[in-house]
Structure 1
Amino acid sequence: MSANPETGAVRNAWMLVATREIVVRALNKGFLVGLLVTVVFVAGIIAFTSYMGNRTESFDVAVVAGDESAATALEAAADGRGGVPSDDKVELTVVRVADAEAARAALVDESADAWLSSGTPEDAGWTLSGWREPDGTLVSLLGTSVRDQVLAARAAGAGTSMSALTEGSEVATERLDGNPVDPQVVFLAGFVLAFLFFMGAVGSGSMIAGSVIEEKQSRLVEIIATAVPLRQLLAGKIIGSSVIALGQNVVLAAVGLVGLSFTDLSAVLPSMTASMLWFVAFFTVGFVAVAALYAVAGSLASRTEDLQYTTSPLMMLLMGVYIVTFAADGTLERVLSYVPPASIVSMPVRVLAGDAAWWEPLLSLAILLVATVGAVLLGERAYRGALMQTGGRVTWRSAMAAERGTTLGA
């Protein structure tokens, strides 16, 4: 069986195949619902993180009448007096009670979150009591207030002042690499990029493999091959699926960047945007190789049930990239940023961290491009050799041998 001569229509057959792949996938309800759910999930995580980071915590703290030291410490913590920096995300309300029994009762009935009591002349210690373990934020804030109040009293007794005692004790922070992005943000970005790569590669790759085996199992590909060279059929599937995968990641990246603009991380938005653009470039090139290999995995199968076996090596590779890249650091991350397909994630993360010189992403992208071309050429040979073989799973070796012994689709 041989393909028709390559007329103008045949030469452009890959465009028809690509268009069909895009339309079928874009109109697939499962794909659209999955994309919508993912968008809502990403937006929801960002909204929840923003809410948790900006919400105001309120505490009602009991103080016994006559315990003026405790009352003064609470008021200083509440309004920033006495050297305690005010925190607009924490609100303190002083609940005055008659005695210690009333304070304990307030903790039991939850009309107070904690009870602060100052030390007696015999026992100079202070106590912050709670029905359960007092909140860590409250402990830290009141601890600062109490410490400063005690130091101020002792400074006055020594004939000096708090400002004189603490002068020159402030510690300023400086980051010598000049990159304003926090390491935790870099780690989070690595996780997100690895997730986008994994979901895009596996989701769209599986669609390619499913499309190939569907056409092969139904023998439809034998009819298609009389009008479309197999090389162009493969090219159309790769291009169409790449467009869909890229579009999906662009949508998710855009949602993430827009969401970040409403959070405390808006200051690092320029750096994050540059990293995302590099990720899009790397993903665009790298997914072509992934798509080609998934198409081969589909052609090696003879039934839909075979796909789990033929796609397992690819799934393991992509899972390994997902696990290793977002957790990599130091020398390992620098090495991975030049090793396809891990470089799709690792190099954009290094760009965000300010750890990559201007030429490093370009060199890494060139290496990825060479690897992609090699994967596509190898995959095309195996695809053409395996697509027409039926009766059972096809091995890579038999696929390559069959391609060498036929001119089908050339």
Structure 2
Amino acid sequence: MSTIEQNPVRTTPAPTGGRAPSGAMRTAWAIVAKREILAKIFDKSFLVGTVLTVAVIAGFMVVSAFMEDRTKTYDLVASGADVSFARTLASEVTAVDDKVIVDVRSADSAQAARALVLDDDADVWLHKVGDDWTLTAATEVPDGLQAAASTVVRQSTIATNAQSAGTSVAAIEKGATLKASILKGNADKQGFAKVMGFVLAFLFYMASLTFGMQLAGSVVEEKASRIVEIIATKIPVRQLLIGKILGNTALAVGQMVVYTGIGLIGLSFTQYKSYLPSVSAGIVWFLVFFLLGFLVIACAWAVAGALASRTEDLQQTAMPLTMLMMAMWFAVFLAKGAVLTVLSFVPPFSAILMPIRILDGSAAWWEPVVALLLLIALAGVIVRGAERLYRRSLLQTSGKLSIKQAWSAPE
């Protein structure tokens, strides 16, 4: 007997069809996710959209920094005895607002001064109407000039009146100042945090709609072309769903990190740079809530695509989800007080509202933890329900399905 006959080589038959080996099926989601990511990052419209958004954010920051540092010079004209006070105003207005400079021009008469303004040879005309000083412009008195000049006029007039009355400015103004204060935090910082919260909420809203519609469109396209039937013979439908959701989530989170990073770098060149350390924790919380919130939304978008049999059906199957997204966005502006507090714990509203409360300092340390746990619980329920609906409706091509029909459809 030959050596070959005594020690036969054992071989495993290569699969000739059907599904991949069980080990490969358990990691098939990674292949699907990789395909989703590569398809997007090499898509021209996706790249152009991302670059344009980055350019808009960076441009806005550059313009904001430029406007903050820009000094504006105004030509002010006066006539007669008003010229003396106009020069006093010009010398003191910069102390009120260092971004405002006033150049004084003298006119022969009030009519001449008025004519200079009408001909755009001067920005404003300073003159008296009765006992009050008045700034007159051709169409609109600049806000910055009016605010600074009003302060100077008030201070100068009070000083003159105090001297005439034989007293001091401090004595006249004693007890006449109304100050504003808040019990929690800093007012300017809270205003900055509120604006940042609105911006981050808008980015969440746009990312959920953009990537969600792309995900649903991809699902219905594969279903309508019957390609999904071929894919389903190779990998479990559950793995296909996981891969699609994780791939799009990775893209959305990556894009969000880029956007927030560009925004924070830009803010470091503005007057708000001192607030960045205090809001950094809120931004980290936002990214965590964004990740889980987008996972929940992505599952729902995948189901919306699976319920449709044609692209034309997608608008109807996605309508409830679109309405939910709009409700979340309107809650950012309309929810106040106790309503805002309650909704910040209710998923998926918490994905947007709780980061806003964290940023403005109105949330205690434990509140985002509780909201996050509730969002995780909802994510678990949604994922399981979405997996069932997706699996049972994906291969149904007879027409648009309702959620009830998909839930009870055979495997």
Output the TM-score relative to the length of structure 2: 0.88
Which residue among 316, 330, 344 is the counterpart of 1:309? 316
Partner of 1:318: 325
Shift of the alpha carbon at 1:118?
A: 4.6
- C-alpha distance 132-13 of structure 1, shift in aligned 2 (>3 A): closer
Amino acid at match of 1:73: F
- C-alpha distance 147-211 of structure 1, shift in aligned 2 (>3 A): closer
Partner of 1:257: 264
Shift of the alpha carbon at 1:169?
A: 5.5
> Structure 2: which 5+ residue stretches go unaligned?
1-16
Partner of 1:27: 42
Secondary structure of 1:92 counterpart:
strand
Amino acid at match of 1:155: A
Equivalent-residue separation in structure 1 for 2:115 and 2:220 (angstroms): 72
Question: After alignment, is 238-247 or 154-163 more displaced?
Answer: 154-163
CA RMSD, aligned part only?
2.4
Secondary structure of 1:126 counterpart:
strand
* CA deviation profile, 1:165-190 (whole Å, cap 9, x unmatched): 44676666543213455444344223
1:98-113 matches, within 5 Å, as 98-113=108-123
- C-alpha distance 146-14 of structure 1, shift in aligned 2 (>3 A): closer
Partner of 1:50: 65
- The yes-or-no answer on 1:238 pairing with 2:245 is yes
Which residue among 196, 207, 224 is the counterpart of 1:217? 224
- The yes-or-no answer on 1:12 pairing with 2:27 is yes
- C-alpha distance 132-179 of structure 1, shift in aligned 2 (>3 A): closer
Partner of 1:78: 90
Shift of the alpha carbon at 1:238?
A: 0.9
Amino acid at match of 1:39: V
Secondary structure of 1:131 counterpart:
coil
Shift of the alpha carbon at 1:305?
A: 1.6
Partner of 2:5: none
Which residue among 354, 368, 382 is the counterpart of 1:361? 368
Question: Would the aligned equivalents of 1:114 and 1:134 in 2 still touch at CA under 8 Å?
Answer: yes
Equivalent-residue separation in structure 1 for 2:168 and 2:285 (angstroms): 55
Secondary structure of 1:80 counterpart:
helix
* CA deviation profile, 1:331-357 (whole Å, cap 9, x unmatched): 111111111111011101001111111
Partner of 1:94: 104
- C-alpha distance 212-132 of structure 1, shift in aligned 2 (>3 A): closer
Amino acid at match of 1:32: L
Equivalent-residue separation in structure 2 for 1:221 and 1:133 (angstroms): 63
Shift of the alpha carbon at 1:109?
A: 2.2
Secondary structure of 2:103 counterpart:
strand
- C-alpha distance 4-141 of structure 1, shift in aligned 2 (>3 A): closer
Shift of the alpha carbon at 1:50?
A: 3.4
- C-alpha distance 395-149 of structure 1, shift in aligned 2 (>3 A): closer
Shift of the alpha carbon at 1:367?
A: 0.3
Which residue among 47, 51, 58 is the counterpart of 1:36? 51
Amino acid at match of 1:79: S
Which residue among 253, 261, 274 is the counterpart of 1:267? 274
* CA deviation profile, 1:125-178 (whole Å, cap 9, x unmatched): 434333334334333333333333333233223333435544676666543213
Amino acid at match of 1:276: I
Output the TM-score relative to the length of structure 1: 0.89
Question: Would the aligned equivalents of 2:69 and 2:99 in 1 still touch at CA under 8 Å?
Answer: yes
Amino acid at match of 1:78: A
> Structure 1: which 5+ residue stretches go unaligned?
none
Equivalent-residue separation in structure 2 for 1:98 and 1:181 (angstroms): 46
Which residue among 303, 321, 345 is the counterpart of 1:296? 303
Equivalent-residue separation in structure 2 for 1:295 and 1:276 (angstroms): 28
Question: Would the aligned equivalents of 1:17 and 1:240 in 2 still touch at CA under 8 Å?
Answer: yes
Secondary structure of 1:384 counterpart:
helix
Partner of 1:340: 347
Amino acid at match of 1:75: R
Question: After alignment, is 42-51 or 351-360 more displaced?
Answer: 42-51
* CA deviation profile, 1:262-304 (whole Å, cap 9, x unmatched): 2222222123322221111011112112111111111111112
- The yes-or-no answer on 1:175 pairing with 2:182 is yes
* CA deviation profile, 1:200-248 (whole Å, cap 9, x unmatched): 1111111211221122122111111122011111111111111011111
Shift of the alpha carbon at 1:315?
A: 1.1
Question: Would the aligned equivalents of 1:117 and 1:127 in 2 still touch at CA under 8 Å?
Answer: yes
Question: After alignment, is 159-168 or 21-30 more displaced?
Answer: 159-168
1:100-179 matches, within 5 Å, as 100-118=110-128, 124-166=131-173, 173-179=180-186
- C-alpha distance 129-180 of structure 1, shift in aligned 2 (>3 A): closer
* CA deviation profile, 1:305-332 (whole Å, cap 9, x unmatched): 2111111111111111112124422111
Question: Would the aligned equivalents of 1:180 and 1:268 in 2 still touch at CA under 8 Å?
Answer: no
Equivalent-residue separation in structure 2 for 1:256 and 1:63 (angstroms): 45
Q: Percent identity?
A: 43
Question: After alignment, is 45-54 or 265-274 more displaced?
Answer: 45-54
